[in-house]
Chains A and B, each alone.
Chain A
Amino acid sequence: TQLLEQSPQFLSIQEGENLTVYCNSSSVFSSLQWYRQEPGEGPVLLVTVVTGGEVKKLKRLTFQFGDARKDSSLHITAAQPGDTGLYLCAGPNAGNMLTFGGGTRLMVKP
């Protein structure tokens, strides 16, 4: 079973701070995706990383895929209240079904 573990589970920070959330597995994934989910809504895809060592930037968000394709990180610079939400990583398992991590719930206080 390919599992994804996310840490931390909860994060509460002040506006302007930097943060990093992690997505780890003991298994190799062909790709990993990051989603953000806001209350009352479904997850929205932020990025897909495919190549080991790949780094992608989306404004203040930086995503990295581990060299061995077993882990990924999301770094947010100068967090804003609009970044508040549940951050989920996901990857295709052996049956090509999307498996999700438990998520990191981020709260950014003004």
Chain B
Amino acid sequence: KAGVTQTPRYLIKTRGQQVTLSCSPISGHRSVSWYQQTPGQGLQFLFEYFSETQRNKGNFPGRFSGRQFSNSRSEMNVSTLELGDSALYLCASSKLVRADTQYFGPGTRLTVL
């Protein structure tokens, strides 16, 4: 069974731009969660989608948004990029809306210049 895939793997943007990241979950998984990982803050939860609905949201500004499609694929958007948004963005999928048994993708490394 194919794992979680994320595209692109690497991205370089400048301040003020916006970016869209994509995540394809494991086949049959309906829940997709997004996390931000930085050296200073570690892994922080952004949001979770299940059946095209946002079920949980972490403590991030409204510049961070997401959506899920009917095939469970998910996209995350960050508008008006700031230098501090540079991070590894990880997507994880699971069968149900649960906090355990999550399978992570390799991440998208975003660098904001």
* Chain A interface residues (CB < 8 Å from chain B): 31, 33, 35, 40-45, 48, 88, 90-93, 95-103
Q: How long is the Cα–Cα vector from A96 to B35 in the complex, in angstroms?
A: 15
Check if A42 sits within 8 Å of B58, measured CB to CB: no
* Chain B interface residues (CB < 8 Å from chain A): 4, 33, 35, 42-45, 48, 56, 58, 90-92, 97-107
- The number of inter-chain residue pairs (CB within 8 angstroms) is 54
- Pick from B4, B44, B45, B98 the residue with the most CB of A within 10 Å: B45
Check if A43 sits within 8 Å of B104, measured CB to CB: yes
Check if A40 sits within 8 Å of B106, measured CB to CB: yes
Check if B99 sits within 8 Å of A96, measured CB to CB: yes
Q: How long is the Cα–Cα vector from A35 to B100 in the complex, in angstroms?
A: 11
Q: How long is the Cα–Cα vector from A102 to B37 in the complex, in angstroms?
A: 10
Nearest CB in chain A to that of B42: its residue: A102
B29 to chain A, nearest CB (A): 14
Residue B48 contacts which of A41, A91, A97 (CB distance < 8 angstroms)?
A97
- Pick from B43, B98, B102, B105 the residue with the most CB of A within 10 Å: B43
Given known A-B contacts A97-B56, A101-B42, A102-B42, A41 and B106 have beta carbons under 8 A apart = yes
